């Protein structure tokens, strides 16, 4: 897939599941549970044990109707390892110019993390395909709307503070997608092996997202 295809897929799906696990052996069960609930884009963070190896395994085994990316990528070397393993996009909690360059030199989508408008513009000017607004917990959807007023060309994806119930609010504010972690991949459910609960959460989130549609100018509006 080309970078533009990956970006378009993320914008179409509008949900990126951020997966942080203590037990690597539960990753496939989590992804299968999320897929059963309608989620198709997965960010496997580097905090998962053996994350690079697992990304490689998933890239080989999973169908082409899902996207596997790497998250919590802090340096060029890790980005290159993840890309070689099969990651289709690379997400960072912070903005690192050399990570963007490493991704683009290999034709892979780069999604750096930024907090302030200045960081967002710097990352966008450096070639970010989407800018992850992180952490979004203290910002709220109004921040997205306020930033996009003078910067409508920027593609923003809030992560942190996005819940099943408020995910649609971020999209209505203008975000192209949302990154959802613990609210979706509940640590207690994973620990208990209750993957049906993760599927239920994915179904609820997908239903809430499907309740809105996106106009041609990418401004989300409520379904009539």
Per-residue confidence (pLDDT) for residue 1, from 0 to 100: 82
Given 13, 26, 43, 155, which residue is catalytic?
43
| Residue range 6-19: mean pLDDT, rounded | 97
> Which of 15, 7, 47 shows the shortest CA–CA distance to 159?
15
pLDDT-derived band at 31 (thresholds 50, 70, 90) equals very high
pTM of this structure: 0.92
| Residue range 134-158: mean pLDDT, rounded | 96
In this structure, the number of other CB atoms found within 10 A of the CB of residue 39 comes to 26
> Is 43 one of the annotated active-site residues of the chain?
yes
> Is 132 one of the annotated active-site residues of the chain?
yes
Number of structural domains (the chain) is 1
Write out the residue range of the structural domain in which residue 30 sits. 3-222
Per-residue confidence (pLDDT) for residue 223, from 0 to 100: 34
Cis peptide before 135 (omega within 30 of 0): yes
Give the residue carrying structure tokens 């450096």. Answer: 126
81 neighbors 56 (Cβ within 8 angstroms): no
Given 26, 88, 132, 155, which residue is catalytic?
132
Provide the CATH number for the domain around residue 41.
3.20.20.70
């Amino acid at each position: 897939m080309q970078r533009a295809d990956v970006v378009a897929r993320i914008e179409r799906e509008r949900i990126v599941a951020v997966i942080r696990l203590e037990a690597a052996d539960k990753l496939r069960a989590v992804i299968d549970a999320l897929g059963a609930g309608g989620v198709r884009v997965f960010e496997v963070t580097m905090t998962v044990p053996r994350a690079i190896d697992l990304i490689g395994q998933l890239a080989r085994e999973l169908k082409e109707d899902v996207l596997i990316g790497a998250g919590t990528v802090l340096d060029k070397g890790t980005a290159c390892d993840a890309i070689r393993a099969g990651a289709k996009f690379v997400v960072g909690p912070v903005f690192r110019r050399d990570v963007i360059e490493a991704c683009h030199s290999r034709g892979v989508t780069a999604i750096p993390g930024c907090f302030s408008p200045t960081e967002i513009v710097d990352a966008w000017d450096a070639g970010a395909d989407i800018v992850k607004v992180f952490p979004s917990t203290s910002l709220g959807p109004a921040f997205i709307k306020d930033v996009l007023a003078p910067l409508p060309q920027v593609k923003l994806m809030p992560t942190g503070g996005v819940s099943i119930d408020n995910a649609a609010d971020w999209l209505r504010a203008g975000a192209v997608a949302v990154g959802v972690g613990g609210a979706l991949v509940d640590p207690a459910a994973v620990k208990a092996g209750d993957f049906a609960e993760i599927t239920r959460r994915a179904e609820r989130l997908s239903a809430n997202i499907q309740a809105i549609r996106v106009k041609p100018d990418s401004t989300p509006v409520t379904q009539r």
